[in-house]
Structure 1
Amino acid sequence: MKVLLVNGSPNAHGCTFTALSEVAAELEKQGIGTQIFQLGKDPVAGCRACRACRKLGRCVVNDKVNEALALVPEFDGFVFGSPVYYASAAGQLSCFLDRLFFAGTSLFANKPGAGVVSCRRGGAATAFDELNKYFTISNMPIVSSNYWNQVHGSCAEEVAQDLEGLQTMRQLGRNMAWLLKCIEAGKAAGIAMPETEERIWTNFVR
């Protein structure tokens, strides 16, 4: 079993990376493989709403989204980390997730997901809520911890001093590992995944 952790910060080894690394270390202790995917500093385009990805199985804009999309089938769980900008997730990560989940919705179904946010002081709750919405619309179990999944600090060294935040990350790793093992045990016992009905699309214009 493997978990993909996406660092949505432009900084490769900053606050968000420090939080994700704590989660990854705990997952490894629990026998779960991990990989950290760095979004990087290159621009990530927003969705063009062309819907071509539904036919192609990939986005027409060839950037980090397609690189990550190709990895999704290999992994059993996902953690998406973001710095907090103006009480929201980082803009490039939001663009990345919009396109990743629209192009690969079926690939995420029934796989556990978790969001992690890092902030200097405020805005963590709203950014955390933003990330969780990608999971709740994609049939994904959400993995929780003993507190909301956030760390505080202006730099990696300060996050390393956030003992409560780091504990939250470790508990998140343990909970993710436990849920993955439960799903695996359920499959081995012959418990089928939930049946999915054909999607009904409606709007409010009649």
Structure 2
Amino acid sequence: MKVVLFNGSRKDNGCTFTALDLVAKSLEFEGIETEILNIGRRVFNGEIEAVVKDASEKVKNADGFVFGSPVYWASPSGELVMFMDRLWAAGADFRFKPAASVSTCRRAGNTATLDVINKYFAYSAMPIVTSCYWNEVHGKTPEDVLKDEEGVQTMTMLGKNMAWILKSIEAGKKTVKQPEWVEKVMTSFIR
């Protein structure tokens, strides 16, 4: 089993990467393969097409996902939102695969950021993985993040919970049939 983690920060090794790395280490301890993709800086530098193409291939073969972002104005980075808007064209490859959102900030705006990211999952019939608190860490630097004991615990638990859900889904496939997908009915409120 494999989980792909997407870093929506412009900083490849900043606070968001640090949080995602904590989740990845917890998943790996549970026997789950991980890969962190730093997409924020690349999207910022105008490489959106290449980033989405690369990620689309990873999505097909992944079993679960974690999308992480720093908080910018009480929401995810514009880079992550642009990336997710484009990547969600591969919606069928996300169905029924668990996903989690992670936010990092100095002070506030985390839950609003998590809410924006989680809506992509809800729209795509993806189980949303939670932890023992909101999936967030606080700090201005990666070193600060590691001092956030509650945040570190939350990221570690998130990895454990993701591993448990992945293993449960795998075990369930032997006895429980996955729901059949139906095309969405699109209601028009303008007549």
Shorter chain as normaliser: what TM range?
over 0.9
SS of residue matched to 1:193: coil
Superposition pairs for residues 1-206 of structure 1, below 5 Å? 1-43=1-43, 62-101=49-88, 103-189=89-175, 191-206=176-191
Structure 1 runs of 4+ aligned residues shifted over 4 Å read none
TM superposition score normalised by structure 1: 0.89
1:44/1:64 contact within 8 Å kept: no
2:43/2:51 contact within 8 Å kept: no
1:89/1:127 contact within 8 Å kept: yes
TM superposition score normalised by structure 2: 0.96
1:44/1:63 contact within 8 Å kept: no
**What is the CA-CA distance between 1:44 and the residue it aligns to?**
5.2
Q: Which 5+ residue runs of structure 2 have no aligned equivalent?
A: none
Give the Cα–Cα distance (whole angstroms) in 2 for the partners of residues 144 and 85 of structure 1: 22
2:43/2:83 contact within 8 Å kept: no
1:52 — aligned with what? Answer: none
**What is the CA-CA distance between 1:199 and the residue it aligns to?**
1.6
Aligned residues: 190
Give the Cα–Cα distance (whole angstroms) in 1 for the partners of residues 164 and 15 of structure 2: 26
Supply the AA of the counterpart residue of 1:4: V
1:76/1:180 contact within 8 Å kept: yes
Higher helix share: 2
Percent identical among aligned pairs is: 52
